[in-house]
């Protein structure tokens, strides 16, 4: 009889443990957030201040919505960001609905259409 109760308690503990595991896993998933750059207005001019006041994490996704005939998104390094020149071999996104996952550290994006980056169509996003 005591054996039966012991095994029932073991099962209950296992169920509880599984429940906790699922809870932890779902928290991990919930922590990865998706941000629409520029919110409703999308990826546009004067975007440079958009990341201010937000806290990004590695694994979060940025969504860039824009007209691909008018803009693009280029992942650049700090020098490219500061100078508004995309280094050769930079990854260019041009679907108009690009989803880009943030890596840990600084992530820099510009629009490489002439004059757009100079018109503050650029963002620097720090992901923790």
- Closest separation in Å from C-beta 75 to Cu ion: 15
- Closest Cα to residue 51, out of 112, 10, 117, 109? 109
Between residues 76 and 121, which has the closer beta carbon with respect to Cu ion?
Answer: 121
- Exactly one of 50, 62, 71, 75 binds Cu ion (CB under 5 A); that residue is 71
Query: What whole-number distance in Å separates Cα of residue 4 and Cα of residue 70?
Result: 71
At 91, which helix (H) or strand (E)?
A: strand 91-93
Query: What whole-number distance in Å separates Cα of residue 90 and Cα of residue 79?
Result: 12
- Closest separation in Å from C-beta 28 to Cu ion: 35
The DSSP call for residue 40 is: G
Build a one-symbol-per-residue string for 1-40: x at contacts with Cu ion by CB under 5 A, - elsewhere: ----------------------------------------
- Exactly one of 48, 85, 90, 113 binds Cu ion (CB under 5 A); that residue is 113
């Amino acid at each position: 009889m005591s054996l039966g109760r012991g095994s029932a308690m073991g099962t209950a503990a296992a169920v509880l443990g599984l429940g906790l595991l699922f809870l932890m896993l779902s928290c991990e998933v919930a922590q990865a957030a998706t941000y629409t750059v520029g919110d409703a207005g999308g990826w546009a001019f004067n975007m440079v201040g958009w990341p201010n006041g937000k806290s990004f994490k590695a694994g979060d996704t940025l969504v860039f919505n824009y007209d691909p005939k008018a803009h693009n998104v280029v992942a650049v390094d700090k020098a490219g960001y500061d100078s508004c020149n995309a280094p050769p071999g930079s990854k260019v996104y041009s679907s108009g609905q690009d989803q880009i996952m943030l890596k840990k550290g600084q992530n820099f994006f510009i629009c490489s259409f002439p004059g757009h980056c100079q018109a503050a169509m650029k963002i620097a996003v720090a992901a923790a």
